[in-house]
């Protein structure tokens, strides 16, 4: 993994596709940071880094990472920066790192709601091309239960605005987030929401319940019943069955998943469903638990 020197503060999360990118940390943590399932920033208080620290990090990258062509803005909420600061930052990246051809960032619905389509279009013109959006679920009851900001329609509005501004979207969802009690509703509604969003890429991860999160405490109290492998496979089937993309990629290849898929929809949908059924019946192997970071 390519890092930006010694100014990365605390645990830094980035998408798998950004493994070889420059990681430019412009914010610390997440401005919402209330999702029951998310352990990523529970130990960080949200803050925006000073322009001086960011400038120093860019100087370091210009000296030592001048051959790296991709850059990822982190932590989990870089798009929450005021518009003038974001525009100045992107201009500085082009000035100091002219070899960079792709800039990407996480973008939650809360941050997107504070930007107009015109503002997002200006960011796109300045080089911010790809946004990673965590939908997690297309089921309002599941989102509310997990204390995620915004309902499904809000996420759909913000995704549509980003796409209209010329951004590419990579959307993540979580198998198992509804527990066993709301599995079908969660999976099928999530597929319908992905269909409406029609992102360039959709990735289904399996829920991992981490100590220190509110969801772990609910698990210990018996208030949340997680899915087993068969339950996750059934959710994956329902999700894929309800998902119709116009030409996007559909992944379930994160380390957490019991079954790894990489599909181009709609072309590979039926073969993907057949593979899930084969795994359900024991005719296709699952990833061993030791390799799932569980």
- Whether domain 130-294 has CATH 3.30.750.200: the reply is yes
Q: Please state the domain extents for the chain.
A: 1-106, 130-294
3-state secondary structure of 215: helix
- Measured CA to CA in angstroms, residue 253 lies from 52, 77, 176, 286, 288 at distances of 38, 24, 15, 12, 13
Strands 249-251 and 262-264: antiparallel
Burial class (CB in 10 A: 0-12, 13-18, 19+), 33: middle
In order along its 294 residues, the chain shows pLDDT tens digits of 444 444 677 778 888 889 899 999 999 888 888 999 998 887 778 889 999 999 999 999 999 999 999 999 998 889 999 999 999 999 999 999 999 999 999 999 999 999 999 999 999 999 999 999 999 999 999 999 999 999 999 999 999 999 999 999 999 999 999 999 999 999 999 999 999 999 999 999 999 999 999 999 999 999 999 999 999 999 999 999 999 999 999 999 888 999 999 999 999 999 999 999 999 999 999 988 877 865
Can you give the pLDDT at residue 5?
Answer: 46
CB 106 within 8 A of CB 78: yes
Burial class (CB in 10 A: 0-12, 13-18, 19+), 142: buried
Main-chain dihedrals φ then ψ at residue 232, nearest 5 degrees: -65, -40
| Claim: this prediction has a pTM higher than 0.75 | yes
Phi-psi region for residue 151, left (φ > 0), alpha (ψ -120 to 50) or beta?
beta
Can you give the pLDDT at residue 31?
Answer: 85
Beta bridge partners of 106: 132
CB 264 within 8 A of CB 202: no
Beta bridge partners of 89: none
How many angstroms separate the CA atoms of 161 and 164, rounded?
5
CATH architecture group of domain 1-106: 2-Layer Sandwich (3.30)
Can you give the pLDDT at residue 142?
Answer: 98
Can you give the pLDDT at residue 293?
Answer: 65
Main-chain dihedrals φ then ψ at residue 174, nearest 5 degrees: -120, 110
3-state secondary structure of 210: coil
How many angstroms separate the CA atoms of 70 and 14, rounded?
13
Place of tokens 């504070």: 114
Please determine whether the domains at 1-106 and 130-294 fall in the same fold group of CATH: yes
How many angstroms separate the CA atoms of 245 and 191, rounded?
10
Can you give the pLDDT at residue 30?
Answer: 87
Beta strands per DSSP E along the chain: 22-25, 27-28, 47-48, 70-74, 102-106, 128-136, 168-175, 201-206, 249-251, 262-264
Rg (CA), the chain: 19
CB 181 within 8 A of CB 145: no
How many angstroms separate the CA atoms of 137 and 189, rounded?
7
Distance of CA 182 to the CA centre of its chain: 22
């Amino acid at each position: 993994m390519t890092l930006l020197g010694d100014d990365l503060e605390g645990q830094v999360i980035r998408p798998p596709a950004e493994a070889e990118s420059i990681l430019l940390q412009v914010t610390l943590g997440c401005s919402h940071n209330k999702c029951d399932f998310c352990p990523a920033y529970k130990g960080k208080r949200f803050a925006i880094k000073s322009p001086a620290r960011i400038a120093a990090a860019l100087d370091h990258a210009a000296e030592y990472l001048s051959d790296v062509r991709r850059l990822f803005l982190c932590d989990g909420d870089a798009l929450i920066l005021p518009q003038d600061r974001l525009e100045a930052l992107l201009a500085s990246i082009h000035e100091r790192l002219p070899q960079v051809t792709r800039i990407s960032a996480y973008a939650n619905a809360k941050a997107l709601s504070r930007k107009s389509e015109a503002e997002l279009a200006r960011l796109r013109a300045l080089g911010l091309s790809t946004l990673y959006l965590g939908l997690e679920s297309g089921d309002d009851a599941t989102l509310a239960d997990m204390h995620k900001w915004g309902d499904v329609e809000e996420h759909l509005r913000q995704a549509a605005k980003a796409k209209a501004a010329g951004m590419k979207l990579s959307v993540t969802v979580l198998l198992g987030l509804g527990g066993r009690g709301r599995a079908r509703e969660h999976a099928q509604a999530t597929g319908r929401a992905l269909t409406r969003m029609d992102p360039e890429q959709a990735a289904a991860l399996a829920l991992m319940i981490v100590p220190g999160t509110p969801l772990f405490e609910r698990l210990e109290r018996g208030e949340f019943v997680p899915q087993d492998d068969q339950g996750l496979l059934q959710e994956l089937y329902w999700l894929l069955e309800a998902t119709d993309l116009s030409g996007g990629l559909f992944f379930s290849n994160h380390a957490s998943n019991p079954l790894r898929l990489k599909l181009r929809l709609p072309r590979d949908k039926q073969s993907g469903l057949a593979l899930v059924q084969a795994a359900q019946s024991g005719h296709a192997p699952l990833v061993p638990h030791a390799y799932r970071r569980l």
